[in-house]
């Protein structure tokens, strides 16, 4: 089974979060901007999708832990 494009976006977003921590969103948006400036609109699009995936997690409420 091959990963879909959406699967790849989620996987790379997780990688960027693990690699860059709280700076991940900014670094990924910066990369998208650089690609746009160079005319690579396909690259910009995919990097923006990765950034959007990271942003979804930033805005998501923290998981609630059950009291033992």
pLDDT (tens digit per residue) in 21-46: 999 999 999 999 999 999 999 999 99
Tokens describing residue 6: 């959406």
Q: Is the separation of the CB atoms in 28 and 50 below 8 Å? A: yes
pTM for the model stands at: 0.82
End-to-end CA distance of the chain: 39
Q: Does position 61 have pLDDT exceeding 80, yes or no? A: no
Q: Does position 64 have pLDDT exceeding 80, yes or no? A: no
Q: Is the separation of the CB atoms in 43 and 35 below 8 Å? A: yes
Q: Is the separation of the CB atoms in 15 and 37 below 8 Å? A: no
Q: Is the separation of the CB atoms in 20 and 58 below 8 Å? A: no
């Amino acid at each position: 089974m091959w990963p879909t494009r959406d699967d790849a976006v989620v996987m790379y977003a997780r990688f960027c979060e693990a690699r860059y921590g709280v700076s991940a969103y900014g670094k990924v948006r910066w990369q998208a901007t650089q690609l746009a400036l160079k005319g690579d609109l396909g690259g910009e699009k995919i990097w923006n999708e990765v950034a959007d995936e990271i942003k979804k997690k930033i805005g998501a409420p923290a998981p609630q832990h059950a009291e033992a």
